[in-house]
Structure 1
Amino acid sequence: MAKQEDLMDNAEGSEQLNIEQLEAIDADHDARMAWWREARVGLFIHWGLYSLPAGVWKGKEVPASYAEHLMLRARIPVSEYEQIATEFHAEHFDAKEWVRAAKLAGLEYLIFTAKHHEGFAMYDSDVSDYNIVKKTPFARDPLRELADACREEGIKLCIYYSHSMDWHHPDSQGNTWDYPHNIGAYDDVASWINDEDKRTRYEHYLHTSALPQVKELLEKYGPVGLLWFDCGHKLTAEQGAAFVKQVREVQPDCLINRRVWMDPYGDYGNTSDNQPHVRVPRKDWESIATLNDSWGYKVADHNWKTADVVLRQMIDVLSLNGNFVINVGPMGNGAFDPKSVELLEQIGHWMQTNGEAVHGTRQSPIGKPPWGRCTIKDGILYLHIFEWPTNGKLLVPGLRNPVLKAYALADKDRSALPVTRISEEDIVIEVPISATASTIPVLAIEFTGECDTNPVRLLYTADYPNNFGAFDADIEGPTVRYDTGKKDHDNLINWTSLEDEASWTFRANGPDRLQAVLEYGAAADVDGGSYELSVISKRSGETVSRITQTVKATGDGYEFAAFPVGHLSLPEAGDYVLRLKALSLPNGAFICLKKIVLERG
């Protein structure tokens, strides 16, 4: 079940094409992207008929991670699902409250679900009468009211539209219980492209319903910052291009996300849904996350993230030059649920103090320090401290520029903190023993000149462990791959070849000797395999230290355990490569690596 639901997030589709070349051809790309790069954070809103039953059908909770998939997962006939509309009063809907909540949380654009996979238009559609104005007692156009409220508050209006699937339409994809000859919800393009009946009827849906609705959305509601498409991997390249063409013809400045088809389409890249660990897909990219698990409101979903967790994920994305969009699924009555309101207020409180370290910033020029993350803007490096230094000294690696001043954003006086340069590339800031703020303090470093940094990871000799995560590794070989990056899947998988390897580059400020710890999962059939962990000098290319060990089973590839495996020695200061390779695979498989830690001991 989970695997099928994951297939809907468009994460697996990617064409190996030259994205940089495509963007260079489009001379208007940078101009279109300017507001988006400045905004950095937005609010996603999933609201539809599914919000009223909230994951429950006929008194029973439907086994689906996402409430908006209710119709599909419960296989609800169209005739029954339509009846939800007759009860959709939305008596507490207030567009101004929604937009004000986004603004107070420091979120600068709002993406509203004009139509999700269920096929119900949450706006006054002239293309289809199956819409909120004509079929519900609410009988108002929430998108019109949101467009007006966004203009009043200075929030950029953006629109989500499910273009590839419509479970209400007899010629679209997904609904095979009412329409047995339709394309299935999880069928790939290859399964239907040569089926004349399916292909012809689907093209009819696209040209008489989906494309005309996209056109009217762009014509009726004023300037739209972004058209957010979904499940474009279920289209052919030509069909995806038709949606790009439609947007460009009506609003040339409107951004298009990658899920209009697959890479390299769209103005920017998307990761998977709720993916806290990423490999950056493109120069401009976006991560989207829910406050709990579901996107649409689900009454039984109490798996709430804390504001701290959401902020850490947001900051991590910003530090990698991505945008971050936080989702709220309003209740069927049109109000945000109390927990979402509480979390948005907590996020907004942090943003009031630290928003300058978010809006308009770009990728960290010094990589990922072990104490947190960095962003940069206009000659200021912002240090987002996840783990406060207990000794009162924060080592900041890789900054060569002369420092003018360092201070805490939470300090209204912005009093200067003492700064000491310990090498050509590294400085130490003296900070209070206790953090300057309760939630993710931010320090600012003002420096002179063009930013001059070394992004290679510095090996810390004290205070922090050196974590070499699987998603930060460079991998080579025919089989090894990164896992999904979703919760508890931040590891390497499919390691089945002796030619596979994972490596990390780092630098050391002097000779050292560190304990190596491998954290991995290993099924019983890989027990007894062997591997080599080595350190290679970047200067000479020679292996300067090596450990060989045998694999110990943990019970399963996703039952992770940490194993001290020995010590690695560094003979001198310099750049090195940490490399892991399998030496023997007795049953044709290796571990699922989560991380390697080098620490004092």
Structure 2
Amino acid sequence: MTGASTDSPDPTGWFEAARFGLFVHFGLYSLAARHEWVRSRETMSQQAYDRYLNRFDPDLFDAPQLARTARESGMRYAVLTAKHHDGFCLFDSALSDYTSVRATGRDLVREFVDAMRAEGLRVGLYYSLLDWHHPDFTVDEHHPLRGTAAEQEPRNMARYRAYMEGQIRELLTAYGPIDLLFFDFTYPEKGPREWGAGQLLSLVKQLQPGILVNDRLGIPGDYVTPEQYQPDRPLERGGERVMWEACHTLNGSWGYDRDNHDYKDPALLVRMLVQSVACGGNLILNVGPTGRGALDPRARAALGAIGEWTRLHARSVHGAGPSAFEAPANALYTQVGRRLYLHLLAWPLRHLHLPGLAGRVRYAQLLHDGSEIRFQEMDGTRHEHNNLAPPNQPAGTLTLTLPIARPDVLLPVIELELDGQE
């Protein structure tokens, strides 16, 4: 795919073709290194939290290297936290002094956007609807100052809404085409009315007509965003299938969390990617750079392993989607036109039976090395010779003959070339 243009007649087409994205959570909380909600969790005052502002120096934040890593990992778009719940902005804003530009002279959103475009990736920005720094954002259940005298201060959400709209206007007019805007998030104490959701969404679409917006304003958006759980079927709204993106972390934390070692195995992450595609969705996988802005070794290792898999198997996910065929046990299908991809979650002993595919497959091969897989069609009337199938295997079954040794890849994939099937 090419560039970050939003000129396509169908602005959703790139999203469903991409299937795999990078989320980047970076900010002052990265210095605390104990979760991006550290200020709320520890009910820090602004003065206490400012110790991170005074030491913020992202000298190892290398946007071009981050973009190369994303591309080499098989990702086709990337989203950066332009502003998280703490209110600190990684962009140049005329409406706030609480920015990376004032703190360090660096506009990290500009660096990120330019670097991602240079690598041919689509560009997304995250913007938190919460703001624990802004004096007009009312104190609620998540606010660090809950339970303090700040709850009695006069605060004006109308002024805060005007501030949000002003910053969204800055983000969508100062950085060229933005492909995706990820708002976060609606909860019981604050919803569409507090955000001015309809007006805000209208502004976004007016400024960037081709942009995709998620569903976290509390009103329907262009796609839905299940977080930290993996759908196992297509998602629907009102009986209609919707675009969706599963949002996952490497270790349960979005921001850098130094002492959290609960990292997901790369094989699991690849399986989550494939399951998303098989169910008609995307996967966006998060990294939380260190306080100096670099990816830690564990994140680099995970992305490197995923990248090695996608280097060999990209066409089974990019541009792919669900298949009408029903996959056998311990397997997932994705499909692109006449190419059906069989992802084997468990390696069978010698033979694999595929109901309904007899007479439909022209050729089969292991995708990682292009080696042929031989197959035979079962007639279902007898115990086939050479013990290829159990008695009474259903008619229309295609049986693959596999090597005994499982391929040394995170998730083996067989590419089936279908005959006359779209």
TM-score range, shorter chain: 0.7 to 0.9
Shift of 1:352: 0.4
Ranked by relative contact order (alpha carbons within 8 Å, sequence separation 6 or more), the top structure is 2
Alignment partners' CA distance in 1, 2:150 and 2:135: 10
- Give 1:248's aligned residue: 205
Structure 1 gap segments, 5+ residues each: 1-27, 56-66, 184-196, 452-601
- Give 1:203's aligned residue: 158
Shift of 1:116: 0.6
- Give 1:459's aligned residue: none
Alignment partners' CA distance in 2, 1:386 and 1:113: 34
Asked if the contact 1:375/1:381 (under 8 Å) is kept, the reply is: yes
Query: Which amino acid counterpart does residue 100 of structure 2 have in structure 1?
Result: I
- Give 1:573's aligned residue: none
Question: SS at the partner of 1:224?
Answer: coil
- Give 1:118's aligned residue: 86
Corresponding position: 1:395 with 2:345: no
Question: SS at the partner of 1:366?
Answer: coil
Q: For 2:171, which of 217, 230, 243 is the aligned residue?
A: 217
Change (3 A) 1:210 1:224: same
Corresponding position: 1:181 with 2:148: no
Structure-to-structure mapping, 1:554-593, within 5 angstroms:
none
Shift of 1:370: 1.5
Asked if the contact 2:337/2:421 (under 8 Å) is kept, the reply is: no
Query: Which amino acid counterpart does residue 73 of structure 1 have in structure 2?
Result: R
Structure-to-structure mapping, 1:33-432, within 5 angstroms:
33-55=12-34, 67-134=35-102, 136=103, 138-163=104-129, 165-173=130-138, 174-175=142-143, 176-177=145-146, 180-181=150-151, 201-207=156-162, 209-233=163-187, 234-236=190-192, 239-262=196-219, 265-271=220-226, 273-278=227-232, 280-282=234-236, 283-390=242-349, 392-399=350-357, 402-412=360-370, 414-422=371-379, 423=394, 425-432=396-403
Output one character per residue of 1:256-293: Cα deviation in whole Å (capped at 9) or x when no partner: 0111224xx1111111x210355543331110111111
- Give 2:390's aligned residue: none
Query: Which amino acid counterpart does residue 111 of structure 2 have in structure 1?
Result: E
Structure 2 gap segments, 5+ residues each: 1-6, 237-241, 380-393
- Give 1:64's aligned residue: none
Alignment partners' CA distance in 1, 2:306 and 2:41: 33
Question: SS at the partner of 2:54?
Answer: helix
Structure 1 runs of 4+ aligned residues shifted over 6 Å read none
Shift of 1:401: 6.0
Identity of aligned residues (%): 34
Query: Which amino acid counterpart does residue 268 of structure 2 have in structure 1?
Result: V
Query: Which amino acid counterpart does residue 368 of structure 2 have in structure 1?
Result: A
Question: SS at the partner of 2:36?
Answer: helix
Alignment partners' CA distance in 2, 1:124 and 1:400: 60
Change (3 A) 1:179 1:214: farther
Asked if the contact 1:364/1:373 (under 8 Å) is kept, the reply is: no
Alignment partners' CA distance in 2, 1:401 and 1:254: 43
Asked if the contact 1:51/1:331 (under 8 Å) is kept, the reply is: yes
Change (3 A) 1:433 1:182: farther
Query: What is the count of residue pairs matched by the alignment?
Result: 389
Alignment partners' CA distance in 1, 2:149 and 2:327: 51
Change (3 A) 1:424 1:342: same
Question: SS at the partner of 1:120?
Answer: coil
Output one character per residue of 1:173-214: Cα deviation in whole Å (capped at 9) or x when no partner: 44334663379xxxxxxxxxxxxx77xx1222112x111111
Alignment partners' CA distance in 2, 1:425 and 1:179: 73
Alignment partners' CA distance in 2, 1:111 and 1:411: 33
Question: SS at the partner of 2:59?
Answer: coil
Alignment partners' CA distance in 1, 2:229 and 2:16: 20
Shift of 1:368: 4.8
Please provide the CA RMSD for this pair.
2.1
Corresponding position: 1:439 with 2:407: no
Change (3 A) 1:81 1:367: farther
Question: SS at the partner of 1:310?
Answer: helix
Query: Which amino acid counterpart does residue 420 of structure 1 have in structure 2?
Result: E
Question: SS at the partner of 2:199?
Answer: helix
Change (3 A) 1:319 1:30: farther
Shift of 1:29: 11
Alignment partners' CA distance in 2, 1:30 and 1:324: 24
Alignment partners' CA distance in 1, 2:361 and 2:234: 30
Alignment partners' CA distance in 2, 1:430 and 1:182: 72
Asked if the contact 1:111/1:159 (under 8 Å) is kept, the reply is: yes
Query: Which amino acid counterpart does residue 356 of structure 1 have in structure 2?
Result: R
Per mean C-alpha deviation after superposition, the further-off stretch among 116-125 and 368-377 is 368-377
Output one character per residue of 1:57-110: Cα deviation in whole Å (capped at 9) or x when no partner: xxxxxxxxxx11001011111122123111011111111111011011010101
Alignment partners' CA distance in 2, 1:276 and 1:127: 38
Question: SS at the partner of 2:37?
Answer: helix
Query: Which amino acid counterpart does residue 206 of structure 1 have in structure 2?
Result: R
Question: SS at the partner of 1:31?
Answer: coil
- Give 1:31's aligned residue: 10
Alignment partners' CA distance in 2, 1:291 and 1:313: 12
Alignment partners' CA distance in 1, 2:252 and 2:11: 32
Alignment partners' CA distance in 2, 1:171 and 1:261: 21
Alignment partners' CA distance in 2, 1:235 and 1:425: 53
TM-score, L = length of structure 2: 0.87
Output one character per residue of 1:204-249: Cα deviation in whole Å (capped at 9) or x when no partner: 2112x11111111111111111000111343226822122111101
Change (3 A) 1:440 1:160: same
Asked if the contact 1:48/1:120 (under 8 Å) is kept, the reply is: yes
Query: Which amino acid counterpart does residue 181 of structure 1 have in structure 2?
Result: E
Change (3 A) 1:73 1:418: same
Asked if the contact 1:29/1:267 (under 8 Å) is kept, the reply is: no
Asked if the contact 1:172/1:182 (under 8 Å) is kept, the reply is: no
Change (3 A) 1:90 1:434: same
Asked if the contact 1:379/1:447 (under 8 Å) is kept, the reply is: yes
Change (3 A) 1:152 1:277: closer
Decide which structure has the larger Cα Rg and report it: 1
Change (3 A) 1:125 1:287: same
Query: Which amino acid counterpart does residue 209 of structure 2 have in structure 1?
Result: P
TM-score, L = length of structure 1: 0.62
Asked if the contact 1:40/1:324 (under 8 Å) is kept, the reply is: yes
Question: SS at the partner of 1:449?
Answer: coil
Asked if the contact 1:406/1:417 (under 8 Å) is kept, the reply is: yes
Output one character per residue of 1:480-527: Cα deviation in whole Å (capped at 9) or x when no partner: xxxxxxxxxxxxxxxxxxxxxxxxxxxxxxxxxxxxxxxxxxxxxxxx
Alignment partners' CA distance in 2, 1:153 and 1:242: 34
Query: Which amino acid counterpart does residue 170 of structure 1 have in structure 2?
Result: P
